[in-house]
């Protein structure tokens, strides 16, 4: 199985989700989204695939302090993206808690 994770190596939840994917034998593409931010269109597709609104993909501290369009904000400032965001052939989700990745395996 192939998986893609929007990953922040400094985040314990992101590291845990990556470990679960690896332990399950997934072939993981790791996107360090702070270094290589997804575009607005990519974020829109991820949210649609996850069945969530773009506002739900914002970190809580960002969503509470802005009236900006969530997609514009996340594209402009990737640190506002909730993490980890994981996608497989079965769908996409925000893996909080990390064990949620099992739903995509």
DSSP 49-92: HHT--GGGGB-HHHHTS--S-HHHHHHH-GGGB-S-EEEETTEE
- For residue 46, CA distances in Å to 60, 65, 85, 90 come to 18, 23, 8, 12
Is the pLDDT confidence value at 45 over 90? yes
Q: What is the pLDDT of residues 11-44, one digit of tens each?
A: 999 999 999 999 999 999 999 999 999 999 999 9
Say what the pLDDT of residue 18 is: 98
Locus of tokens 């900006």: 68
Q: In the numeric block, which tokens belong to residue 97?
A: 């808690």
Say what the pLDDT of residue 66 is: 61
pTM: 0.89
Domain, as residue range, for 62: 2-104
Say what the pLDDT of residue 68 is: 73
Query: What is the tally of structural domains in the chain?
Result: 1
Residues annotated as catalytic are: 11
Is the pLDDT confidence value at 7 over 80? yes
Q: What is the pLDDT of residues 76-93, one digit of tens each?
A: 999 999 999 999 999 999
Say what the pLDDT of residue 64 is: 54
CATH code: domain of residue 93? 3.40.30.10
Say what the pLDDT of residue 60 is: 75
Q: What is the pLDDT of residues 48-73, one digit of tens each?
A: 999 999 999 998 776 556 667 899 99
Element (DSSP H or E) covering residue 42: helix 40-50
């Amino acid at each position: 199985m192939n998986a893609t994770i929007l990953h922040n190596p400094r985040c314990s939840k992101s590291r845990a989700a990556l470990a679960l994917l690896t332990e399950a034998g997934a072939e993981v593409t790791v996107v360090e989204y702070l270094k290589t931010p997804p575009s607005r269109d990519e974020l829109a597709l991820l949210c649609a695939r996850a069945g969530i609104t773009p506002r739900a993909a914002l970190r809580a501290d960002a969503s509470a302090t802005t009236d900006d369009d969530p997609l514009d904000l996340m594209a402009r400032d990737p640190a506002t993206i909730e993490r980890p965001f994981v996608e497989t052939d079965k769908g996409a989700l925000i893996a909080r808690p990390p064990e949620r990745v099992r739903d995509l395996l």
